[in-house]
Amino acid sequence: MTDVVFGELRKEEDYGWWGRQTMKFGGNTFNVELLIRQGKDDEIKEIQKKAFQSFMEKWPQLQTGLIEALIKYYNEEEYYSYGPEDEEEAAEWWPEIETKEALLQAVTLETIVIPQDFIMDRRGRRVYLLFSRTWGGEDLDDNGIGVSYTNEALDEIAYKDIAF
């Protein structure tokens, strides 16, 4: 299916509509997956389109605050929160991340998730960004970083599962 707002999409049962979007983040261009979560029917709702459009319009201005918030999240929530007890091995797991450049070396923007319309009916326009990350050893459970925006304002940073 081709949608005017989202472009070319494919349907996957139990997930929703999948497509791809090109986005700039921190000066780098990413070809990210796009997931529009399905509701009770297979239709993409107007509120989902509005959430995506509003977010993308403000995305250039939101990036600086997001980068700063991700650095803060890493240093206050993740840094040395788990992992090996050996100091040398732990130092490999936990790089120093204090600058935009260091952060951009450690995270990759992978997915945009637009939740079901009923979630937005209660909470406002929602968009989630999902990132992979290089710290903390091999990420066997795909626990990367999830970032939640409500009405284009940064709402929460946590593991990726906040989007589901």
| pLDDT-above-70 percentage for the chain | 99
Q: What is the pLDDT of residue 119?
A: 86
**Residue pair 5/19 in contact by the 8 Å Cβ criterion:** no
Model confidence at 104, pLDDT cuts 50, 70, 90, reads very high
* E-assigned strand segments in the chain: 2-3, 7-8, 10-12, 16-25, 28-37, 107-114, 126-133, 145-150, 153-159
pLDDT of residue 163: 87
Under DSSP, is residue 78 helix (H, G, I), strand (E, B) or coil? helix
Give me the number of domains the chain comprises: 1
pLDDT of residue 47: 94
Q: Which of 43-47, 63-67, 118-122 reaches the highest mean pLDDT?
A: 63-67
Nearest by Cα to 32 from 102, 112, 149: 112
For residue 23, what are the domain limits?
A: 2-163
Q: Which amino acid is at 123?
A: R
- Return the pLDDT at 140: 66
